[in-house]
Amino acid sequence: MQVDEEAVGAVLNRLRRAQGQLTGVIAMIEAGRDCKDVVTQLAAVSRALDRAGFKILASGMRQCLASADENTPPMTEAELEKLFLTLA
């Protein structure tokens, strides 16, 4: 599956944001911060990663269903559903 070039920038921004948040979570744990604060930030990281994954799937959906590569069969609806559920 190929990701639309326009979507790549948005995905990379989300992943970089998640990376920064995860670095913050690690620092919070090392500093002995309150469990509630750590879990809140972990949830934010998780949401950022989910959104990046959904963006990749959404932007690549058309290519998955109608693959231009003759050697690679298009993905079935069941395969696409499995990808979505992987993120859920």
Q: What is the CATH number of the domain that holds 18?
A: 1.20.58.1000
Torsion, Cα 39 45 48 50, to 10 degrees, reads -80
For the chain, 88 residues long, give each residue's pLDDT as a single digit of tens. 566 777 888 889 999 999 999 999 999 999 999 999 999 999 999 999 988 888 888 777 766 665 556 677 777 778 777 877 787 6
Q: What is the pLDDT of residue 53?
A: 87
Q: What is the pLDDT of residue 27?
A: 97
Which residue range(s) make up the domain with 56? Answer: 5-87
Entry pTM:
0.70
Q: At what angle do helices 35-65 and 5-30 cross, to 10 degrees?
A: 160
Report in angstroms the alpha-carbon separations of 52 from 10, 23, 43. 8, 18, 14
Measured CA to CA, the distance from residue 69 to residue 48 in angstroms comes to: 31
**How many independent structural domains does the chain possess?**
1
Measured CA to CA, the distance from residue 45 to residue 22 in angstroms comes to: 6
